[in-house]
Amino acid sequence: MNNVPGLYVSPTEFVRFAEGERTARRQLADQIATRQRSPDFSALGLYLPNPDPILKKQGKDVQVYTDLLSDALVGGSVRRRKAGVVKMEWRVERGRASSRSAKLCEQLLGELDLRRLMRETLQAPLLGWQPLEVTWSGGQGAMVPVAVEAKPAQWFHFDAEAQLRFKSREAPFDGELLPARKFLVPAQDASYANPYGFADLSMCFWPTVFKRGGLKFWVTFTEKFGTPWLVGKVPRSTAKKEQDALLDQLESMVQDAVAVIPDDASVDVVESSGRTASAELYERLLMFCRSEISIALLGQNQTTESNSNRASATAGLQVTEDLRDADARLVEATVNQLLRWVVDLNEGEAAAAPTFELFEQEEVDKQQAERDEILVRAGAKLTREYFRRTYDLEEGDLAEETEPEPTEPLAAAPTNLPPTAAEVQFAEALAPAPETDALDALVHEAMGDWEPLMAPLVQPLQAALDEAAARGETAAELLARLPELLQTLDVRALETALTQATVTARVGALAGLQADGSSDGIEPQPADPPGPAFSELAPPTQPQKLEVHVHLSTPAAEPPVVQVTNTLPEQAPPVVHVHNALPEQAAPVVQVTNAVQPAEVTVVPMHPSRAVQTVQRREDGELAGTVTDYEFKQQVEDPNAL
């Protein structure tokens, strides 16, 4: 309390002065621990060096990490990590932004090379940070980016205020301060102490160096101990010149396996043995380095090593997906910053901006979909909420349900069916109309014959349904054994009855049976009526049964062959009297004159009903003649001649 200006108004109550209150608030609002006051701040002028320990010890820039990408394992792991994010789907969520802003941003991302932008943004986790220069459209209309390109990170640095600067030729040391909304700077795990972020390739530097060095020594070891040694023996008194000549021949013999030596010299082949353990040391070193690189870039090494099992590889894939999600959040933050700038320049900083999201298209569970299809066929009704929740559908993906048009209610099933088939209804079991006629009466009379025929077919099916329900079988299991059950049903009696009913109905129709039970109303004519008349067959005295259509679907292997013999009563052949009376007419007189060429004129004592004259011409077009054809109605003297 001694440092705060104020006054004790009582032994237990202290009141601060107003000036002291304002000073205390200013101290809370100001930063105390800054780079300028820190004891380890080593910046010279405006330059803030990268605190990466490897770069500081090497005295180099991030180009050292870029060179590591030439390694097969490092480059392959980087491509795999980027591909996991690039393959994801993207969308623009409007949120509270205006419709114009949402359409503008979505059109912008559609015109940009978004996949390239994502790959270049993903350089930030590898190098720690990645500057991206934005080129804006300078013409009329909306201000939108026309290009977003990654620039080498070694061209830039941060100043003491963590502001990005470009090391140009005019200012190579301090750098040029860049304008606002010009550069996007995605960084991984950037902090106040390290705005350059953390580079994942820094964890791969020493493992890659040791792997390259170990591989070099391993190759040397293989050349040295992988081939047998050739030892040449010469007499002790051999001159130095001859020894050198023999040595040259032995060196050539390593490649050619052919040499010429004196008869008093010898060559021994010495095999190197006991070097297996030394060779395994190099392999273990390289495998350790490979494992460290995979863990640094992918978070695990189970999907890159040959001795992993299914369980470990599955767990490793989960870790890789976690890293992919982290990289996706970095890409989203970078693109959302770009969209925020677009809205600021076109609608103002107070306007809300849409958001960019990356998501993975989930595969539909085939087993779940097949189960739902079976349930729907069995009669289950699944709601729209169920489909949206189970298959991750969005609003508008499912069509609106339409109410079916009202139809006339069907009549109840006959009450005299067997108890096990009471729930089965047939299309022909409709209630009769209020005013029945002879056809309806015949149909209802025939219905009494169909029910005993259908009961033996329905009872086994109903028993199978009851049995499946008692066992708890699914609809698919019941449908699988239904064809075998249908083959055991005897439909011969039903086929015979249908055939007889069809033939009887056709015979009744040919006999002239009407809907009211009467004949077609044609009365027999007298023998010689004054005009033309025709007589038909007399209708049968007994009403015939009409045709009744019963649709029964049975998966029979072969269609049955039914032979039906119908015996009809013999009837006398009908007597038809035809009388044609034509009025008497005088024979016509026809005169024909052929002006071009005389032709024979024939006078027919009859009136022609039609004359057709045809003009004939030669090949040169000149008139050659005419031909006249006449059509006559023949007068019949005897009416019975026809």
**419-450 tens-digit pLDDT:** 444 444 444 444 444 455 555 666 666 666 67
- Average pLDDT estimate for 574-602: 59
pTM above 0.85, yes or no: no
Between CA 46 and CA 36 the distance in angstroms is 11
Q: Which helix (H) or strand (E) holds 114?
A: helix 114-121
Look up residue 301 and give its two tokens: 């090494």
- Mean of pLDDT over the chain: 75
Beta bridge partners of 89: 359
- What are the structural domain ranges in the chain? 47-205+319-359, 365-397
pLDDT, average across residues 611-635: 73
**Per-residue confidence at 131, pLDDT binned at 50, 70, 90?**
very high
Q: Measured between alpha carbons, how far is 30 from 26 in angstroms, rounded to an integer?
A: 6
pLDDT digit string, tens, across residues 158-180: 988 889 999 999 988 888 999 99
Residue (of 511, 642, 502) closest to 580 by Cα position: 642
Query: Do the beta carbons of residue 125 and residue 188 sit within 8 Å?
Result: yes
| pLDDT at res. 65 | 92
Sheet holding 164-166, edge to edge: 156-158, 164-166, 176-177
Task: Indicate if the pLDDT at residue 599 is higher than 80.
Answer: no
pLDDT of residue 590: 53
626 forms beta bridges with 615
How many Å apart are CA 36 and CA 541, to the nearest integer?
A: 125
Distance (Å, whole) CA 170 – CA 172: 6
Shortest CA distance to 526 belongs to which of 517, 513, 535, 515? 535
Can you give the pLDDT at residue 248?
82
Q: How many CB atoms lie within 10 A of CB 87?
A: 13
For residues 54 and 145, what is the distance between their CA atoms, to the nearest angstrom? 36
* pLDDT value at residue 13: 80
Q: Which residue has the higher pLDDT, 321 or 536?
A: 321
**CA–CA separation, 244 vs 267, rounded Å?**
14
What's the rounded mean pLDDT across residues 133-161? 89
Residue 417 in contact with residue 390, Cβ under 8 Å? no
Instruction: Report residue 451 as tokens.
Output: 């029910």
Crossing angle of helices 492-511 and 438-471, in 10° steps, is 160
Distance CA 4, CA 353 (A): 46
Least confident among 407-416, 530-539, 585-594: 530-539
| 247 sits in which H/E element | helix 240-256
> What average pLDDT does range 203-209 have in this prediction?
92
What pLDDT, on a 0 to 100 scale, did the predictor assign at position 572? 67
β-strand partners of 166? 156, 176
Q: Which of 82-91, 180-189, 401-410, 506-515 has the lowest mean pLDDT?
A: 401-410
pLDDT > 90: what percent of the chain?
A: 25
pLDDT band (50, 70, 90) for residue 251: confident
Q: State both tokens at 153.
A: 């990170």
Cα separations (Å) of 497 from 447, 544, 559? Answer: 12, 15, 16
Q: For position 438, what pLDDT does the model report?
A: 55
In this prediction, residues 219-242 reach a mean pLDDT of 78
Q: pLDDT: is 593 or 413 the higher one?
A: 593
Residues 421 and 417: their CA atoms lie apart, in Å, by 6
The kind and range of the H/E element at 294 are helix 276-298
d(CA 157, CA 43): 12
Question: At 274, is the pLDDT very low, low, confident or very high (cuts 50, 70, 90)?
Answer: low
